[in-house]
Amino acid sequence: MDLDAFVTEHGGEWNRLQQLSRRRRSRLTAAEIDEMIMLYRRTATHLSLVRSRSGDSALVSWLSRLVLQARAQISPPAGMTRSAVVRFFTVGFPAEVYRAGRWSLGVAAASLLFAVAVGWLVASDPSIALAIMSQEEIDQLVAHDFAAYYSAYPPENFATLVWVNNTVVAALGLAGGVLVIPTLYLLFANALNLGVVGGLMIGYGGTGTFFGLITVHGLLELTCVFVAAGTGLRVAWAWIAPGRYLTRLQSVAQAGRQATVVALGLAVPLGISGLVEAFVTPLPVPAAAKLVVGGGVWLAFLAYVVVVGGSAIRRGEHGDVAAYEREVLAPSV
């Protein structure tokens, strides 16, 4: 290859490509974008020729940078754009929570019924309560420990601790759903603990303290846990009953991608719940005033899911990735 002649012949094209690729994409006309694409393809071919037929490393390096620069201009990475974030919270997340609504409601009903049954047994039968804790421990729990738990740490530290703990619980419930048993065990343990503590508090005169504290943040917190568990179990059902048009792998992959959207989105309401638990729950004000805050954020979350998520579902929207990114949906034999 006569390198000097090759550079002389194509140098103008390379310089033009460099000029176009340095300009903002928004300032390029349609004709200039078409020109840049054409020059990018030609320059990529030139790079291949120079690399295979010439030992000029400097020219290979320069053309490589030029091709990469032009490619980045032609196909900019999506990244975390503002529009993507807005779409996530106005379409993807609420739509997938709404889609898993029946599963979440079923999980919530079963868990709460079990917790109420356990609480009733513990509260109505002193022998069961005394088999769990001694009389001194019960008195300490009712008179001091239950309320003191919410003010044992500085509020900002406690909020972070609660947020991390609840996020881990929700993540375990969601991720374990595909195996069914881990999520069911998590729900069982959570409902059992709630029922036992509630039964002890109610059975020994701490009813007002129990509901006045746990309801403030528990409405939103438990809702998030139920959403996570319901979404996880929905992934398991996608494996058990994939439907007529998807293989099991495709069905689980689709449900798993949608569950990932829920997992990411739940970090926000769980963070709000943590703030309420740390800064509102322990306030020395009437329980009704605190319930206005706790109930307000809970109702706001429900309204957000029902209104925004329901609207997205009715428009045919979803939180899944774009169709061209779903490699698992490629035809298989």
Q: What is the pLDDT of residues 177-229, one digit of tens each?
A: 888 999 999 999 999 999 999 999 999 999 999 999 999 999 999 999 999 99
Question: What's the mean pLDDT in 170-183?
Answer: 89
**Residues 140, 146: Cα–Cα separation, whole Å:** 8
**Residues 52, 180: Cα–Cα separation, whole Å:** 56
CB-based contacts of 199, cutoff 8 Å, min separation 6: 118, 119, 120, 121, 122, 123, 128, 129
Tell me the domain boundaries of the chain.
Answer: 3-74, 90-329
pLDDT over threshold 70, residue 230: yes
Q: Which of 303, 140, 289, 284 is nearest to 220 (CA)?
A: 303
Q: Which residues of 128-139 are buried (b: 16+ CB within 10 A; e: fewer)?
A: bbeeeeeeeebe
**Residues 191, 203: Cα–Cα separation, whole Å:** 18
Identity at 243, one-letter amino acid code: G
Question: What's the mean pLDDT in 153-182?
Answer: 91
CB-based contacts of 315, cutoff 8 Å, min separation 6: none
pLDDT classification of 80: cutoffs 50, 70, 90: low
Element (H, E) at 288: helix 287-303
Q: What percent of the chain has pLDDT over 90?
A: 65
For 283, list phi and psi in degrees, rounded to 5.
Answer: -60, 140
